[in-house]
Amino acid sequence: MRNLTGIAMSKPHLKLCLIVVMATVSAQYVTAAGRENPDPTIVKTEAGLVHGKISNRVLEFKGIPYAAPPLSELRWQLPQPPKAWTGVLDATKYKSACPQLSRYGSTEASYDEDCLYLNVTVPYSQHSSPTLRPVIVWIHGGAFVGGSSSLYPLDFIATTGDAVVVSMNYRLGVFGFMAHPSFDPDWNGALALEDQRSALRWVKRNAVAFGGDPNNITIAGESAGAASVCMHVIAPEETRGLFHKAIVQSGGCVTPLKTVAENSKTGQKVAEYVGCTEAATALACLRGKSVKDLLEAGSKAQGSNLLAYAPSVGSKAIPLHGADAIGSGKFVQVPMINGGNRDELRLYVAYDVQAGDSVTKDNYAAHIQKVYGGFADQVITEYPTSAYSSPPSALGTVMSDFRLDVGLNNCIYLQTAKLASKYVKVYEYVFADRDAPPVTKNPGFEMGAVHASELPYQFPHFSDTAKVDAPALPEAQQKMAKQMMAYWTSFARNGVPVAQGAPVWEPFTADDKVFRFEPENLGSFDASSEHNCGFWKKLYPAVLTR
């Protein structure tokens, strides 16, 4: 046997040589991750060098372009590669959120289309990591019309799980999820998803530079971010190989979707409001309108429809409904964490009450009728206001158990687990801490574990604004936050959620194999019984019994 210089080698020498080569390769990974460089804050990506900063035991790289700015002719086009740069790119500050209006009197508006950037957070210490770390890609929520990666500090997850954590901005609302007859039919209503997929391809190509394992990527998201994870899971021809595990927090993967044609009606309203009604010139006309005018037209077209810009089924981007894809095994078959919050839709009842739409004993029936139509009498009998602390709490509980047109409900989460668990391991959960910090100002009724109330347990001081200035969690909640993130990051590492000293989280095999996250009460429980899914199955068998 000869080595690379042609010198004869014995087997012991060959073994020693292989050890040296492997150590050299490992050292190259470490150096690429910025560990043994003279300046560990500089990393070489495919498009050029980036300069981050050390903060709170992590290396942070913010505002790295993963696609070209979607301006002018690139508005409503597939994301295009970013231009390479010379020198060193300053990656110490977040870039602009994608265009959006302020919502609920708290979130921040943005009018900047140059927003397709991502952020990478890497654990930092003086000792190098001998192996590549798992990668977690976080997709933010915001009802498909708002939100930003800058709202989510990634250091807690990164240090808890010794993981590389990535977040990104993606086009929203009118610019990212709107369908219109003049758009490319393959991607109509799904350009935001293509932004996310472009970011995932960037992660796959650049993970090693940050010490991440391109063959161990977990995608995770909450609300619209969770629904986006669902859309990637059910589009295997587009996304297979881009991720290896999925975490869905309040997404409802098997919620029925509207078709591209149905959602195009909203897009046509937007075009009408800004004066772009001629079919032959509509696209050029829309591209000539200001961001502000389009956002305001989009809000007007949306009205009170919470899901006016939800993803559309029937394109290359989303070929099948979630139930059809998952139920038939036509999805990316990777392990999943799936679930949501006990009192999801009490949050939106609170928003309505704050806006002046009261819920009282006298108008409770009218609210139920509006949502459940011909089933109203049965629902009122099953959920009388007398069984709850207040009529708004009753209404929020009803919708959090099941609501057909909004995927934020516990019976639809269970149905996702039942279909997916036939093919992959699913770890089902309910976040049930009714003492979680308030997500909005006090609406005058009991909120509980509402939609998004788990986010401060993952992202300390999460406040739904770029200030990230919410108070620290109380001690009991901090303990559970550490347990939650231990489960999450263990799952990202090897597909099994484990937290030292905490109960075993078993894979979902039956209704009572659902994990409850509640301080001092962690463990399995019967979620179907808790959320009355037997009742809802009788009313909606086509959705909940296939």
* CA dist 422 → 320, 330, 399, 511 (Å): 18, 12, 27, 14
Cα–Cα distance measured from residue 224 to residue 98, given in angstroms and rounded to the nearest whole number: 15
Sheet harboring 88-90: ordered strands across? 42-45, 48-51, 88-90
Active-site pick, 60, 238, 344, 428: 344
Active-site pick, 182, 223, 250, 315: 223
* Token code pair at residue 247: 């975490």
* CA dist 241 → 205, 216, 321, 323 (Å): 12, 10, 21, 22
CA angle at residue 432 from 430 to 435, to 5 degrees? 160
Contact between residue 337 and residue 429 where contact means Cβ atoms under 8 Å apart: yes
Phi, psi (rounded to 5 degrees) for 129: -90, 130
Strand partners, 361: none
**Mutual angle of helices 224-233 and 191-206, in 10-degree steps:** 70
Cα–Cα distance measured from residue 252 to residue 416, given in angstroms and rounded to the nearest whole number: 7
Cα–Cα distance measured from residue 189 to residue 172, given in angstroms and rounded to the nearest whole number: 10
Residue 451 is among the residues annotated as catalytic for this protein? yes
Cα–Cα distance measured from residue 173 to residue 292, given in angstroms and rounded to the nearest whole number: 13
Secondary structure class of 363 (helix, strand, coil): coil
Strands of 85-211 (E only): list them. Answer: 88-90, 117-123, 133-139, 164-168
Active-site pick, 451, 453, 454, 518: 451
Residue 223 is among the residues annotated as catalytic for this protein? yes
Residue 73 is among the residues annotated as catalytic for this protein? no
What positions carry a catalytic annotation? 223, 344, 451
